[in-house]
Structure 1
């Protein structure tokens, strides 16, 4: 969609006037439609049509305006007057025909689009006039004269047809140009199931009026819950929906398909039931990854109800799920906009926009973490009842009603079609349509190679492209009894199959434990941060016992190691992975582990290597099979690196990986160097693989838009410096120097200091992971090692540290978290955005510089970490074992909180894990083997609690980190 800032509205009357005159005449002749109603429908259809047309032709008009300007055809004195001059030209009768030479197929395509939309409006009017008396039977149904029509409330399909909302003098109804028989069957199924649950269920679908090939639905009014009881009922109902959609193969249940009507989560568009399951295609990353992908694609995650982030270009990082899409937890997106409109300099630009509010939430500020246990319990409750019905041979009979009712199957994401449609309406595509359609067909064929179930048949692909050429989204339909799909242009696709029998088979064969774990884990995808979510309460402080500390430490560590071993997904080819919440540059996803240190495979490799190493030194108990697991994981990592290298050499150009020190190439580099230090891999392999990865950094840095330590270019600096030290190759230190120069040019500096604005956080941030302290640390390390430019890097680092200091709030005794711009009192004590990370950098600088100001920063950071950061969970990123490290540094530096000793601190940590078990910050019960957000980091820190260990800290991306306890220096 292209938004217009200002005046850019040349008349389209030449295009629409004949068709609208015909539309008016046809509407005026419909029996049962009042004259005022006919005029209303015509006017509203014309408005919707004009909006659609402008989205198609704006780029052509901008190009023609620019051509007129640069060719000298516009002679008025000012840009505004030249715009008016061109606009007058564009409104002459000969203007549009004159474009045919440059855009030969545009008239016919626009004509087809206009005719289709007008015909669809006439059909809607006929159907309304025929059915208007019956519409009063729907709850809140339309009564009296037609007062308004909202056309185009969804995508258009099959000849310009789309959903519309009709308003009467009283009431509203929703017109749907498809069969609503499946909606009726689903309502009947709910009516049969809900009374059998102990407390019933609040779930429902709109009431419907079924007609041949179309229907009318109750308009659901969004309402927030009135009290806590209604909120609990709503979230329990979300769990019921998850269970029911798991059974009947529901999919595509995004945020616009569910409306919160008080305590009732109402699914308003339930056409995508009994979705066929197509096994994942081999990825080249190993059997384990493919198996994990297939397990997830057949799990409750496929419903679309659970939080999850988008990956397509326009919606990257956006949570479109029915249960997610939280206010304040969506990224800003870039939308096309006409800039300098109203002048002859008008052109297409991009505008940063915030997604608007939706109607899927039962409260204005939903706190999912407070109610997620109800989602899980609601899911479990209905699943157990459905299993009981199946054991009684009653379940299959409940589904037979769906057999012959039309359903829709979404084979490609609507966003993918929308991207192609934008390409096909580009001026270049309108100038040479055969070349453009060939490219589009090629892209769809390539898409089919990568996406299970997407059509690869050239005839079907050509029909899909034909639909896009006239402004429609391709539509595939079938019935559960038939299975073979009816596609665009009269095509068919796929094999005939009994989709009800397939859904029942998948229900009976499901991995019930995986479904429950996916529900627990998916909660984190609703949040933008590194995974910490507000818990209901802190864990109780443990009883401090100094007895048998090492035995208890070993027992807890071995227990975690066995859990990591037992939860692995293994492949027949010796590969291994885990299914867990994974942080990427686009947000959180439940998937096979990603290739990084933060929560991915590289971080797990570090943990396993450390455990094997410590076992060999007698400081950890042996866990049978763990060394084999490490070998399999390294094999998987090697395979992935080689697969990616081959794809870069021979495949199409890819989006570059991020360069970051925890998520990205920088993290992979320092993993290999640390594995070398631990003796897990040989020196030759470690530096060779690190060097190959470093060779990818220039492209990654060029594409970087966040700059930070976690995912951005700053995170690659120290790994590059260490690689240069270990190899003697100055290429890598030179590359680190270039990154430093980039950061110099990107910094925003004022009297408060230096910070690095990004699209997501234009104000800049503090802290280690995304903010000023992390970038300053990397620059300070660069200054320590550099010859040329050292003074500039040191000055900029000092300025960034100054900015961080400006965020310290003496009253709150902590550093402000600028993600919470609405509340200036919010401070953070976590590693990622607060005191723990700031304190660790202070400890590192204190060890290197000896400047007492760093001791003061460390003192304040440790005090904040101990008083505010302890007791929420045990993770490194935002929990006890990240805060433990900064407090321990402060104790060693003589600036620790109160009378704390290393022994007391160790007893506290071990006691807490004894009492509560390992608690993740993701959603407490969710499992992750990851280093920073999961049990992997807890295990690593438990190993470091032994006084004889030489394991380095991994809370700064430095494989040769010497900022350890006195015995490790």
Structure 2
């Protein structure tokens, strides 16, 4: 192995850390490890030198293909150790059977943990063309072929010992931890055996332990997880923690009768010890009839209320078992969830503030339907993780490694697996009628409990304080998937061969967390020992420790118990209404699939009652204000239906964020004009608080690390919202806010990897042109600088291939449409071309470059469909503003105005407008995906082209949209019968369009960018 120099090492470690440059890498590593980079590189080279020595003496033996069990040495040690260990316990009758079971479990755990490593090694094996040809010709599974022909050979074992010594260190450490934990379980079972018999198997005489099965969940505290103990007369579960929280919770359930609640909850039999506990196995039993079904969900609604008061989270489908008419919560470890995170930079400010400063809502508990969505090969993959599911087998959004034969090549791919539906549903399958009953019963149980607390608040507070005071709780400092991902990465072939590389990878947790270094060091040390980091606190304490009770510090100024008690004290009838609304929306997103409006462009109504329209707009504003979530005394935000996934086809309930599209900026824009029209002080105050929230967001330095500068989903759109609002509701120090924000955005370009109008530099162009129009001359110098930077950023990063140009990153293929692709970019460049000579005194936009952008769009037009393929080669088409013909119409209208030499002919515009009329109406009534967006796109063209007849047609079509949909459905049926609140996908957008059709000239047109 060649000796590494400093630059080579730093460049590699920079890629591992994912930071901006080598200087940052060097400073980070020297600070975290408290040694010089030179010393680190020296250590790596010493490691490489040892490998080279082993290589010299062993390389000739690598080709030895004599069959040899790869893990023979390790598994023999494990087998012998288990044999000796099990011999000590007389309550195990068939020790051989248990030993075989434990060996198989460890083998399965090892296969799973190191699958990425083995597949990468197999991929290297197939780089030898002969090996690849052999497996392809025999049609064998590539991984099985590798394991048979190479993995289980003496030569390969020796090769791995040479290049990956840490691989075997990890295996041996896993074995020792496995043995240690099995011994701990058996020792505790031995000590507690008589009580286990008395509590769980009293009616039986002779009880023996037949098997121990370790769970598949996260491993903490030196490899520990829940263990299923199979006795001769039944099964119980061993947990490597005390059951104090669980015991207290079920005691609370037993005391609810004193509050006149009419539900009788099933108890859970728990044998509790100081540092471990035993839990009965809850049988999965489906409900027998409608009465039991209704009772199950009424009880679940009541439990939802209890968990709401105790700040419970993470009660997903695997933590609930349906036992007849009883929903059983089988893991209460995440009660008293403290809003403490040390990695808040993974969230936008809106989400983080909701977590940190606001009380968790019913959505955060995890019981209600909830999807997680990931985009893979430009397809959104979703998985229902809520406690109320109902799906059949469904694709998981978590990828696993596999070898595939593709186009006569063997490749390492990352594909999605399947998830079976868990035992959290009391029936096998749900109908739409079932969801209606579920919704009714959940709300009934929740309301009954909530009202009971309001009527007996002091007694309930006292009960909670007595039951849950001074109990140990788990503290989650980061989402565990972050730890899991780091552990997985640490086992790929490029990391596991060097201890220094693993150290560098885990040090990533410390990036910009120097004020919390004690916590990070603990995370680092736990990851080093192959654990998911685990922290503990106490319901009545601010102190946080690691699992060995080493004090680390405080991350909050209020104890978890006080947080819950304060939440109970703040419970009101208004909050009840809001939480019930969230329940309603979450269930309705499962229940309603068809959101057709019945609107056609041909359906026109000339009569519009302006007073009725204003009344509806005001009602919408009042609902939005009532739904506000207070983050501090002078800031508010909202929780609402939000879009999930790159393809924007999945909906969920969550914080709206800050942006113009769904978040505070768009909602504030609507409330600004509503205040102007009504002079209602409540709207004025709401605008001030929403704007304060966004100003705080813009102050965040970490915001500017990620290059999210766009108009609809980015920081510049927030500035435009504030700029418009300030014209009607003055913002203190507005000029400073804008100037500083623009200065900060100047620093974004090294990090910005987004180019579209939603999040990227095309959106920044749109925003800066808009700001100049709103405040002519005031910020011109900064505007011009950002316009030049944005244009050059687009030009520099474009993929130019002959006569086409497009943009592509590792996560986003080249879209054709307005929101994410070429149409939005050419639209922004066309608007820039309109004013370039006035602003700069020369033509900035290269016409040949613009022509290539347009050609890419043209090449992806499907004549048969009459639509543009959203991404080339996917056969996917959109009928909405974001990816469909509406956005193309806006873009081509702007080309006609700004780049007339590249404009389409009149026939094109006639055809595209006709297409929008035919496919763009009746889907739903939002701006992004529905009737209002289609209408706005046609209106935009009509206004710019001064087509009075088409404009009149649009006004009449709006009459039918208003009378048939907006005026009827604004109280909760915006998307799938939910209260979506945002501008582009919600009721704020409905209200905005109503106000625009009352008096267009008074309103800022957010499409006109």
* TM-score (ref. length: structure 2): 0.69
SS in structure 1 opposite 2:494? helix
Q: Deviations over 1:183-212 (max 9, x none)?
A: 22211111111563443265x564323345
Q: Deviations over 1:456-483 (max 9, x none)?
A: 343x544433333343222223443456
Is 2:880 the partner of 1:768?
yes
SS in structure 2 opposite 1:336? strand
User: How far 1:268 sits from its partner (Å)?
Assistant: 0.9
Partner of 1:193: 256
Partner of 1:799: none
Alignment match of 1:260 (pick from 301, 315, 322): 322
How many angstroms apart in 1 are the aligned matches of 2:91 and 2:626?
A: 69
Q: Report if the CA contact (8 A) 1:206-1:217 is conserved.
A: yes
Alignment match of 1:926 (pick from 951, 974, 979): 979
Alignment match of 2:73 (pick from 14, 29, 36): 14
Partner of 1:444: 509
Partner of 2:58: none
Higher helix share: 2
Partner of 1:218: 280
Partner of 2:424: 360
* Paired residues for 1:128-143 under 5 Å: 131=193, 134=196, 137-138=199-200
SS in structure 2 opposite 1:17? helix
* Count of matched residue positions in the alignment of Structure 1 and Structure 2: 860
Is 2:882 the partner of 1:731?
no
Quick one: structure 1 residues 561 and 40, their matched pair in 2 at CA, closer, same or farther if it must change by over 3 Å? same
Partner of 1:550: 610
* Paired residues for 1:503-542 under 5 Å: 503-509=564-570, 513-514=574-575, 516-517=577-578, 520-521=581-582
User: How far 1:349 sits from its partner (Å)?
Assistant: 1.9
Quick one: structure 1 residues 560 and 61, their matched pair in 2 at CA, closer, same or farther if it must change by over 3 Å? closer
SS in structure 2 opposite 1:659? coil
User: How far 1:607 sits from its partner (Å)?
Assistant: 3.6
User: How far 1:418 sits from its partner (Å)?
Assistant: 0.3
Q: Report if the CA contact (8 A) 1:330-1:528 is conserved.
A: no
Partner of 1:966: none
User: How far 1:504 sits from its partner (Å)?
Assistant: 1.6
* Paired residues for 1:659-698 under 5 Å: 659=756, 670=766, 684=780, 698=797
Partner of 2:108: 51
How many angstroms apart in 1 are the aligned matches of 2:562 and 2:520?
A: 29
Quick one: structure 1 residues 329 and 533, their matched pair in 2 at CA, closer, same or farther if it must change by over 3 Å? farther
Alignment match of 1:24 (pick from 73, 83, 88): 83
Q: Report if the CA contact (8 A) 1:310-1:320 is conserved.
A: yes
Please provide the CA RMSD for this pair: 5.6
Greater mean alpha carbon deviation, residues 279-288 or residues 876-885: 279-288
Is 2:419 the partner of 1:419?
no
Quick one: structure 1 residues 33 and 329, their matched pair in 2 at CA, closer, same or farther if it must change by over 3 Å? closer
SS in structure 2 opposite 1:276? coil
Greater mean alpha carbon deviation, residues 322-331 or residues 139-148: 139-148
Is 2:369 the partner of 1:338?
no
Partner of 1:838: none
How many angstroms apart in 1 are the aligned matches of 2:863 and 2:466?
A: 69
User: How far 1:312 sits from its partner (Å)?
Assistant: 9.6
Partner of 2:450: 383
Q: Deviations over 1:32-91 (max 9, x none)?
A: 2112xx223222221221122223444444555566666899899777899968855643
How many angstroms apart in 2 are the aligned matches of 1:563 and 1:266?
A: 36
Greater mean alpha carbon deviation, residues 421-430 or residues 519-528: 519-528
Q: Report if the CA contact (8 A) 1:660-1:709 is conserved.
A: no
Partner of 1:959: 1008
SS in structure 1 opposite 2:165? coil
Quick one: structure 1 residues 551 and 752, their matched pair in 2 at CA, closer, same or farther if it must change by over 3 Å? closer
5+ residue gaps in structure 2?
A: 1-66, 708-745, 799-806, 838-842
Q: Report if the CA contact (8 A) 1:140-1:218 is conserved.
A: no
How many angstroms apart in 2 are the aligned matches of 1:169 and 1:570?
A: 55
Q: Report if the CA contact (8 A) 1:660-1:708 is conserved.
A: no
Q: Deviations over 1:921-955 (max 9, x none)?
A: 24757362x2233232122221233387586987x
SS in structure 1 opposite 2:983? coil
Quick one: structure 1 residues 96 and 514, their matched pair in 2 at CA, closer, same or farther if it must change by over 3 Å? farther
Partner of 2:247: 184
Quick one: structure 1 residues 563 and 291, their matched pair in 2 at CA, closer, same or farther if it must change by over 3 Å? same
Q: Report if the CA contact (8 A) 1:259-1:266 is conserved.
A: yes
How many angstroms apart in 2 are the aligned matches of 1:532 and 1:676?
A: 44
Q: Deviations over 1:837-865 (max 9, x none)?
A: xxxxxxxx9896445x965x566558x73
SS in structure 2 opposite 1:418? helix
Partner of 2:57: none
* Paired residues for 1:75-154 under 5 Å: 87=148, 90-92=151-153, 95-96=156-157, 98-125=159-186, 131=193, 134=196, 137-138=199-200, 150-154=213-217
Q: Report if the CA contact (8 A) 2:584-2:978 is conserved.
A: no
Greater mean alpha carbon deviation, residues 516-525 or residues 135-144: 135-144
Alignment match of 1:598 (pick from 643, 661, 666): 661
Greater mean alpha carbon deviation, residues 404-413 or residues 193-202: 193-202
How many angstroms apart in 1 are the aligned matches of 2:129 and 2:522?
A: 43
How many angstroms apart in 2 are the aligned matches of 1:353 and 1:311?
A: 14
User: How far 1:783 sits from its partner (Å)?
Assistant: 8.3
Alignment match of 2:500 (pick from 421, 434, 448): 434
Q: Report if the CA contact (8 A) 1:722-1:959 is conserved.
A: no
Q: Report if the CA contact (8 A) 1:296-1:591 is conserved.
A: no
Quick one: structure 1 residues 480 and 296, their matched pair in 2 at CA, closer, same or farther if it must change by over 3 Å? closer
Partner of 1:836: none
Q: Report if the CA contact (8 A) 2:439-2:584 is conserved.
A: yes
User: How far 1:421 sits from its partner (Å)?
Assistant: 0.8
Quick one: structure 1 residues 273 and 744, their matched pair in 2 at CA, closer, same or farther if it must change by over 3 Å? same
Quick one: structure 1 residues 219 and 376, their matched pair in 2 at CA, closer, same or farther if it must change by over 3 Å? same
Q: Report if the CA contact (8 A) 1:372-1:523 is conserved.
A: yes
SS in structure 2 opposite 1:429? coil
User: How far 1:111 sits from its partner (Å)?
Assistant: 0.7
Q: Deviations over 1:622-642 (max 9, x none)?
A: 455868976887787677568
